[in-house]
Amino acid sequence: MINGKLLEEQYRVHLSNFHSWSQLEHAENWILFSDNIGSYISIDETSLTDGKLYTVITNKEAKGRKGALIAMVKGTNSDYVRSIVASIPVKKENLLRK
């Protein structure tokens, strides 16, 4: 028998590298996976818990599979979302202008 709670803790603490994740500091407010950007993106809002809204930006070409999530931002303020997405390197933003 495997203790599920212990296995979960061991994964989180020792195997996942969560504590050294580059986005850990701001992950509560936003996450960005700029490598996932493509020529066709979608933007939507969703409510995950307690009615809090999040803006979700996805790569349409990934069709909901691995590599689909580009960004998830807490809230729907367009200026805030734009400031997060603006950190994507210019080369990748040029994909959107084709």
Mind listing the pLDDT tens digit of every residue in the chain (98 residues)?
A: 778 888 888 877 777 676 677 787 888 899 999 889 888 999 999 997 788 899 999 999 998 899 999 999 999 999 999 999 888 876 655 555 55
> 58 by DSSP, 3-state: which?
strand
- Ramachandran region, residue 66 (left: φ > 0; alpha: ψ -120 to 50; beta: rest): beta
Question: How is the chain split into domains, by residue range?
Answer: 23-97
Q: Determine if the pTM surpasses 0.85.
A: no
Q: Can you say how many angstroms the Cα of residue 78 is from the centroid of all Cα atoms in its chain? A: 16
Count of Cβ atoms closer than 10 Å to residue 92 Cβ:
14
